[in-house]
Amino acid sequence: MNPEDRQELKRKIVEEIAAQKKLMRSLAEGSKPVAPDNAIGRLTRMEAINSKSISEANLSVATAKLARLETALNKVDQPEFGICMRCDNPIPHGRIMLIPESTLCVPCADRASAR
């Protein structure tokens, strides 16, 4: 990966980190406890509790992604960044730009998800 690609990737990661943090703030609002007498609009209390559970699950996923993005940002200048952790082949530039926290190339990621 050349220096220009690394700079472009850094900008992309910083943008994604900001977007993740904004999403997490929004999800945190939806994860607040549901009051016993709470009925939001036409939602019943059970629906509000279910919605809260979904927000909590999404917040957990967003938190994990934020951690992976921050790790990627810290490692982007290292020579081994952009190399597949399984097969040691370069991860295609398009994949890295689409999913900056990628640590596997497409074939290795496919094999991992097939398990």
User: What are the pLDDT digits (tens) for 5-64?
Assistant: 899 999 999 999 999 999 999 888 877 776 666 555 555 767 777 888 898 999 999 999
Domain extent, residue 84, equals 3-114
Instruction: Tell me how long the chain is.
Output: 115
pLDDT at 52: 84
- This prediction has a pTM of 0.80
- Write the CATH number for 90: 1.20.120.910
Q: What is the pLDDT of residues 42-51, one digit of tens each?
A: 557 677 778 8
Beta bridge partners, 90, equal 83
Residue 40 · residue 48 · CB < 8 Å: yes
Domain count for the chain: 1
Task: Retrieve residue 54's tokens.
Answer: 């979904």
